[in-house]
């Protein structure tokens, strides 16, 4: 298991292949060159945590060999930021952990995750300096939803509270932005497309961290088993979604994210590929500022699974 000190020194390399960039290795360094062969980035593999690649790239056995040797993940995303796959640095063979995962069928862990998510949604709304009456009312309603989670008597009931709280939260959070409602993967407007992009990057980031501990990523405690869905990653992403939500609103207000950077195909808003690196860098910067907190949360979740989940040992991350 990687220590916090070791993780704090790890770096992420982000590569878009729009201009013919190529990824290679030289003397235990990762090297990115442009279409003319000029080096535009070089860093040591010993400090590498993950390589994000947007676009098409040739993956060689040498690349996979180095990923395993130096313990970093390779995350492959399409030009529209759809997840293609992850070649992950995984702690395989943690049989005891997986036995405990498979035997857990209670509700408490799911309740703790949803409580944490709602609490962070409230914190996000409280960050607004000038709160409208609607925002103040929404905060009060979210407080009520937070208190009701513990009374839920099943997974569907817990997810129902989470869904109701999120619908209210989104309306209040994006109150000054042209926006309809959250509809994943539909890309019906700029905000939904930005959420898809930001959440995908966050998902991939947490997926790479979870791989360090040896979890079965397809077995969740809130999102239960569904064919080929990494339910555990869906669980652990929930408390941190507010990072993406807040960055989207902030970047729109600062005119870092703007409508002219998008094109509409078949009624879907698609980010221009030439803007991919710029937008992804903004999301990654925000995530990296909380990298230790994210790692600590996953580590403490691991410890809770191993010891037995209780209110006292379950991780909580506060977005204050």
Full pLDDT tens readout for the chain, 320 residues: 678 888 888 888 888 876 677 788 888 888 888 778 888 888 898 888 888 888 887 777 877 888 888 888 888 888 888 888 888 777 777 899 999 999 999 999 999 999 999 999 999 999 988 888 999 999 999 999 999 999 999 999 999 999 999 999 999 999 888 888 899 988 999 999 999 999 999 999 999 999 889 999 999 999 988 888 999 999 999 999 999 999 999 999 999 999 999 999 998 999 998 898 899 999 999 999 999 999 999 999 999 999 999 999 999 999 97
Write out the CATH class of domain 95-307.
mainly alpha
Residue 212 to residue 77: CA distance in whole angstroms:
21
Start-to-end CA span in the chain (Å): 28
Query: What is the enclosing helix (H) or strand (E) of 118?
Result: helix 108-126
- Model's pTM, two decimal places? 0.90
Q: Please enumerate in sequence order all residues whose Cβ is within 8 A of that of 312, keeping only pairs 6 or more positions apart, or say none.
A: none
The answer for residues whose C-beta is within 8 angstroms of residue 283's C-beta and 6 or more apart is 197, 198, 201, 202, 244, 247
Record: fold of 4-87 = Ribosomal Protein L15; Chain: K; domain 2 (3.100.10)
**What is the pLDDT, as a whole number, of residue 163?**
96
For the stretch 298-311, pLDDT in tens is 999 999 999 999 99
- Angstrom distances, CA of residue 264 to CA of 18, 189, 268: 19, 9, 5
Provide the pairing of β-strand 11-16 with 48-54: parallel
Strand partners, 75: 52, 86
- Burial class from Cβ neighbours inside 10 Å (0-12, 13-18, 19+) for residue 61 reads exposed
pLDDT at 290: 95
Residue 82 DSSP symbol: -
Q: How far apart are CA 113 and CA 316, in angstroms?
A: 8
Beta bridge mates, 85:
76
> What count of other Cβ atoms lies within 10 Å of the Cβ of residue 124?
19
What per-residue confidence (pLDDT) applies to 1?
67
Question: Where along the chain do its domains lie?
Answer: 4-87, 95-307
| Phi, psi of 39, deg, nearest 5 | -70, 125
Q: How far is CA 130 from CA 134, 176, 265, in A?
A: 11, 12, 37
| pLDDT the model gives residue 19 | 66
């Amino acid at each position: 298991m990687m220590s916090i000190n070791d993780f704090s020194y790890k770096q992420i390399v982000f590569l878009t292949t729009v201009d013919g960039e190529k990824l290679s290795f030289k003397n235990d360094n990762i090297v990115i060159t442009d279409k003319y062969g000029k080096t535009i980035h070089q860093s040591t593999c010993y400090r590498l945590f993950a390589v994000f690649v947007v676009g098409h790239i040739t993956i060689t056995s040498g690349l996979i060999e180095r990923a395993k040797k130096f313990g970093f993940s390779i995350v492959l995303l399409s030009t529209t930021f759809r997840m293609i796959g992850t070649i992950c640095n995984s702690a395989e063979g943690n049989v005891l952990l997986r036995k405990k995962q498979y035997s857990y069928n209670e509700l408490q862990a799911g309740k703790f995750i949803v409580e944490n998510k709602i609490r962070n949604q409230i914190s996000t709304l409280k960050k607004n300096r000038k709160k409208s009456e609607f925002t103040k009312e929404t905060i009060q309603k979210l407080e009520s939803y937070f208190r009701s989670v513990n009374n839920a008597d099943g997974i569907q009931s817990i997810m129902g509270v989470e869904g109701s709280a999120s619908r209210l939260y989104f309306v209040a959070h994006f109150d000054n932005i042209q926006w309809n409602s959250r509809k994943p993967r539909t890309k019906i407007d700029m905000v939904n497309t930005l959420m898809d992009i930001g959440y995908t990057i966050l998902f991939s980031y947490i997926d790479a961290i979870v791989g360090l501990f040896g979890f079965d990523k397809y077995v969740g405690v809130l999102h239960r088993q569904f064919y080929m869905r990494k339910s555990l990653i869906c669980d652990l992403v929930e408390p941190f979604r507010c990072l993406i939500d807040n960055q989207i609103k902030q970047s729109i207000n600062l005119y870092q994210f703007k409508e002219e950077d998008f094109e509409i195909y078949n009624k879907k808003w698609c980010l221009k590929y030439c803007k991919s690196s710029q937008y992804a860098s903004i999301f990654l910067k925000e995530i990296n500022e909380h990298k230790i907190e994210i790692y600590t949360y996953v580590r403490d979740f691991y410890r809770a699974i191993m010891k037995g989940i209780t209110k006292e040992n379950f991780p909580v991350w506060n977005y204050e």
